[in-house]
Structure 1
Amino acid sequence: MASLRNLLFVLLLTLGGCASDPPVQIAASTWQRVDNDIAAAAQTARSQASEHALAAMDRWMDLVYRQTDDEFIPWFSSYWTQQWLSIKVSWYKLSAGGEKDPTVSRLALYLQEQYQDRVLQPVAEDTDPEQILHSTTAFYVRQLDQRLPAIARRHGVPDEQFEQRLKAIKAIDQAPGASLYQVLHAKPLAELPAYKALLLHIRSEPRGVGNWSDDPGMSLVAQRTSARLVDDLTTSGAASLVSAAVGSTAGMGISLGVALFTAISRANERPETEAQLRTNLNAAFDEEWLQLMRRTDRGVLAGIHHLSGQIEGSLSVPLRYQPAH
């Protein structure tokens, strides 16, 4: 019994000692070095995520170019498409009372819709700027998550205190907001409410990743192409009036001659037409591609720029660690 009492006494002393152990005191200078290392890790992660986005956007560009060459340009320049577009122009002009500007605008919108359906949507089944935005932001978070544990070990900061520091660092400002700790531990990131709010904000920016195809450059290409088609139809319409004036038999011959001449002319002009359309489309696309890479508020790097800006901004405020009691 005496031995049992002694054992219990020693056990109580041990437990009491553990309960009264004070938290490890980390010097302010150590916390400053920790914050500097977190900021450096965030910058490195941002740089690597930017390279990831660039590679993904280069691949997307190649797919769009290929789809444009394989599907849209051959469709647009074919004889039967040109005839169908002429019919649409006739209908548009009739609806617009013969006015040119509304007819051009309606045909331009139709061409943009066709480009969306024949090029952008098929490519989007593989990748598009919005998907690249998601993958780039997730890549940034993974890179940061891999680097942070080593910082705590390097400076001898206990896990509990390091987690408290991460919880004090703001990572997403969009309501309801999220700390760096929450972002790192969100599995998956896409389910975090603050991250959803951030994506919604980015997507709503004019000419952002969700609606970049409304770019003025793309619209201008469609407007110019539409105007040329309308002018071609006007010339054909004048020939039809002449054929009607000279009588049915001669008129039929004139109409057939005009149709044959138009078909031959378009066939001869097709390589030049395709080359010009390709040049115009690629120039407009290249400009928008650059905007999606450069703009930090609405492009594919918007997510990582928001997170890194919030994180590095929070780290500029010195930590006053208060251990939990």
Structure 2
Amino acid sequence: MNRVKGPLATCPLVDWMPLSKLPNEPAMLNLRALIIALLVAVAGCASKERPPEPPPTPVVISQSTWRQIDSDIVAASKDATGEAKDYSRELMQRWRTLVYQRTEAEFIPWFSSYWTRQWLTMKVTWYQLNAEGAKYPAVDRLALYLQEQYQDRVLEPVAKEIRPDWIMAQTTQLYVRLLREQLQDIPPRYGVPLDQFDNRLQDIPAIELEPGASLYQLVTAEPIDSQPAYAALVTRLHNIPGAAGTWSAQAGITPVARMTSESLVTERTTRGVAGAVSAMVGRAAGLVISLGTAAFTAMLRENERPKMEAQLRSNLHAAFDEKWLDLVHNPKTGVMAGVYALSEQIEGSLASTVMQPARYEPPAQEQPLQEPPPQVVPPPDGQPMQRQQGNSDDEDSYQLW
């Protein structure tokens, strides 16, 4: 035999030479090189002759597993909603604290100061002159002016740091991020391929507002507000009357403005009477009367200032707290409006497919077993029937003897 037999002989990569023609050099280096070449040739032939692997068998997920997955998606949405709610309460509490602090430091001292009262007196006079003597229109115009001052001195400076519409946007994005994190843990839990799970999320509507978005499109958008349907939802929520960021202090300022306007009208009337009297009695006496009236008015204002500040503080805080509670709890116009809009849509879409807990049904009440009456077997002909007392006091048994 002068050629290598077996699979090496059929390999097209190597032109095998007869063993008799192999060199006789005893050098180990040449021998090792030959062995390596043979091994490479064998590996190449084996790789070419290996049959192709069959395609992987697709993983089939049962309907009960998909129902359980839907239940986990609903649970993830509820958990994300709870955490987003706690986050919004913390931010709203911070906003309220800043508004209280700035109201106390900026608006109340300004409103109750002497020069502000002088300026308000001039405005009330001007309002009345342009209202043909009507009293309440002047009060309403003064309330509007004070509302603008409250907006400029309190709400807008605080809004540069934090405001309700910003809180709503941050809370909604937090909900989406938390939901995204929890959804990533579901496929490994049930051994579901990622592509099948993504297709399932594609079938769940998250936003119906045009152009619409599925749950997959919502949780994969980065940044979140780049998703067109999400941006349309936020815009619609901001434009709802009474939504976050549209609060005004008119309800809290109007009672104080009315009281202030009435007192300013009284002061203006007193000044007019004092001016008329001083003109009648002469320059020297009139000067004394005018100075006395001004001193009395200033003293009266200073005495009324603590009461006025307390009344203003009470009215503003009451109106603010009422709106604050509405912004916290109202599902349509509050800071959680975006979260509720998304969670209700997602959870409602899965309401008919989630796995419901098994209902408890009490076992049917068993009827007590009733023993059949004793059967009397007639004796054969010619045999007497013998009566025997049984174990029970009210039952008789019969035996044949």
Q: Is the shorter-chain TM-score for this pair beyond 0.5, marking a shared fold? A: yes
Q: 1:142-200: per-residue Cα shift (whole Å, max 9, x none)?
A: 11111111111101110001111111111122211111111111111122221221112
Say if 1:239 and 1:255, in contact at 8 Å, map to a contact too.
no
User: What is the distance in 2 between the residues matched to 1:316 and 1:221?
Assistant: 44
Q: Which amino acid aligns with 1:202?
A: L
**2:50 maps to what in 1?**
10
**1:136 maps to what in 2?**
171
CA 1:139–1:69: 2 relative to 1, 3 Å: same
2:274 to 233, 237, 243: 243
**2:303 maps to what in 1?**
268
1:102 to 131, 137, 143: 137
User: What is the distance in 2 between the residues matched to 1:292 and 1:56?
Assistant: 12
Where do 1:47-126 residues align within 5 Å? 47-126=82-161
**CA shift at 1:262, angstroms?**
1.7
Confirm whether residue 29 of structure 1 aligns to residue 49 of structure 2.
no
CA 1:100–1:8: 2 relative to 1, 3 Å: farther
User: What is the distance in 1 between the residues matched to 2:231 and 2:265?
Assistant: 51
User: What is the distance in 2 between the residues matched to 1:316 and 1:71?
Assistant: 52
Q: Which amino acid aligns with 1:10?
A: R
2:346 to 308, 311, 325: 311
Q: Which amino acid aligns with 1:119?
A: V
Say if 1:60 and 1:127, in contact at 8 Å, map to a contact too.
yes
Confirm whether residue 41 of structure 1 aligns to residue 66 of structure 2.
no
Q: 1:176-232: per-residue Cα shift (whole Å, max 9, x none)?
A: 11111111111111222212211122112221113122xxxx323222122112211
**1:233 maps to what in 2?**
264
Say if 2:202 and 2:216, in contact at 8 Å, map to a contact too.
yes
CA 1:225–1:32: 2 relative to 1, 3 Å: same
User: What is the distance in 2 between the residues matched to 1:242 and 1:251?
Assistant: 11
User: What is the distance in 2 between the residues matched to 1:62 and 1:247?
Assistant: 51
Q: 1:45-90: per-residue Cα shift (whole Å, max 9, x none)?
A: 1001100011111111111110111111111111111111111111
Say if 1:41 and 1:144, in contact at 8 Å, map to a contact too.
yes
Structure with bigger RCO (C-alpha 8 Å, 6+ apart): 1
CA 1:150–1:212: 2 relative to 1, 3 Å: same
**CA shift at 1:243, angstroms?**
2.7
CA 1:165–1:91: 2 relative to 1, 3 Å: same
Say if 1:104 and 1:227, in contact at 8 Å, map to a contact too.
yes
| SS at structure 2 position matched to 1:171 | strand
Say if 1:136 and 1:300, in contact at 8 Å, map to a contact too.
yes
Greater share of helix: 1
Say if 2:207 and 2:214, in contact at 8 Å, map to a contact too.
yes
CA 1:312–1:133: 2 relative to 1, 3 Å: same
TM-score (norm 2): 0.73
**CA shift at 1:257, angstroms?**
2.5
Confirm whether residue 186 of structure 1 aligns to residue 221 of structure 2.
yes
User: What is the distance in 2 between the residues matched to 1:192 and 1:259?
Assistant: 65
Larger radius of gyration: 2
User: What is the distance in 1 between the residues matched to 2:296 and 2:303?
Assistant: 10
Q: 1:89-125: per-residue Cα shift (whole Å, max 9, x none)?
A: 1111112122112111111111111111111111111
| Residue correspondences, number | 310
Where do 1:204-215 residues align within 5 Å? 204-213=239-248
Instruction: Could you tell me which runs of 5 or more consecutive residues in structure 1 were left unpaired when the two chains were aligned.
Output: 320-325
**CA shift at 1:247, angstroms?**
4.4
User: What is the distance in 2 between the residues matched to 1:317 and 1:6?
Assistant: 56
| SS at structure 2 position matched to 1:212 | coil
Confirm whether residue 172 of structure 1 aligns to residue 207 of structure 2.
yes
Q: RMSD of the alignment, in Å?
A: 1.8
Q: Which amino acid aligns with 1:97?
A: E
**CA shift at 1:126, angstroms?**
0.9
Q: 1:8-60: per-residue Cα shift (whole Å, max 9, x none)?
A: 4536x22xx22xx4431110000001000110011011001100011111111
User: What is the distance in 2 between the residues matched to 1:76 and 1:23?
Assistant: 75
Instruction: Could you tell me which runs of 5 or more consecutive residues in structure 2 were left unpaired when the two chains were aligned.
Output: 1-10, 14-43, 355-401
Say if 2:121 and 2:268, in contact at 8 Å, map to a contact too.
no
Q: Which amino acid aligns with 1:123?
A: V
User: What is the distance in 1 between the residues matched to 2:194 and 2:78?
Assistant: 23
User: What is the distance in 1 between the residues matched to 2:287 and 2:221?
Assistant: 73
Q: Which amino acid aligns with 2:250?
A: S
**CA shift at 1:6, angstroms?**
6.3
User: What is the distance in 2 between the residues matched to 1:266 and 1:244?
Assistant: 19
CA 1:67–1:150: 2 relative to 1, 3 Å: same
TM-score (norm 1): 0.90
| SS at structure 2 position matched to 1:176 | coil
Percent identical among aligned pairs is 48
